[in-house]
A and B are shown apart, each in its own frame.
Chain A
Amino acid sequence: MPELKLPKVVTEIRVCKEITAGVRTIFAVVRISTLESDDGNILGSWIMPRAMLIIEPGRQYAIDISGEQMSIETILEVAPSLKEIVEKARGIHRIRVD
Chain B
Amino acid sequence: MQFLFLLSAQASIPAAPFPGVSFPPFLFSAALFILFLIILLFILLAIPIHLNLNFSKQGPLMRGSYRIAWLGLTVRKREVLPQHAADSSASISKKDVTVEEGKADEGRKTGDSRDEQKHAIKRSPEPNSLLNAAPAIAHLFIDLLRSIVFQKLSCRLCFGLNDPAETAVMSGYLWSVASALGLFRAKVSIEPFFEGERLEGELTAELKIRLLWIAKAVIDALREKEIRSLIREIAGWD
A→B interface (CB under 8 Å): 12, 14-17, 28, 30, 32, 34, 41-42, 44-47
Contacts and interface: CB of A to CB of B under 8 A. Distances in A.
Given A12-B194, A45-B171, A28 B165 contact: yes
Given A14-B194, A44-B175, A45-B171, A30 B164 contact: yes
Given A41-B189, A45-B171, A45-B172, A16 B163 contact: yes
A76 B32 CA distance: 86
A12 B164 CA distance: 10
A51 B213 CA distance: 55
Contacts of A47: 164-165, 168-169
A34 B195 CA distance: 14
Nearest to B171: A45
Interface residues of B, number: 15
Interface in B189-224: 189-192, 194
B74 to A, nearest CB: 34
Interface SS of chain A: strand
B67 to A, nearest CB: 28
A45 B192 contact: yes
B162 A42 contact: no
Nearest to B158: A42
A45 B166 contact: no
B160 to A, nearest CB: 11
A51 to B, nearest CB: 14
Contact of B164 (A32, A41, A44, A46): A32
Contact of B194 (A17, A28, A32, A46): A32
A45 B191 CA distance: 10
Contacts of B192: 34, 42, 45
Interface string B152-192: 00000000001111101101100100000000000001111
Given A16-B163, A17-B162, A17-B163, A42 B191 contact: yes
A41 B171 CA distance: 13
26 contacts: A12-B194, A14-B194, A15-B164, A16-B163, A16-B164, A17-B162, A17-B163, A17-B165, A17-B166, A28-B165, A30-B164, A30-B165, A32-B164, A32-B165, A32-B194, A34-B192, A41-B189, A41-B191, A42-B191, A42-B192, A44-B175, A45-B168, A45-B192, A47-B164, A47-B165, A47-B169
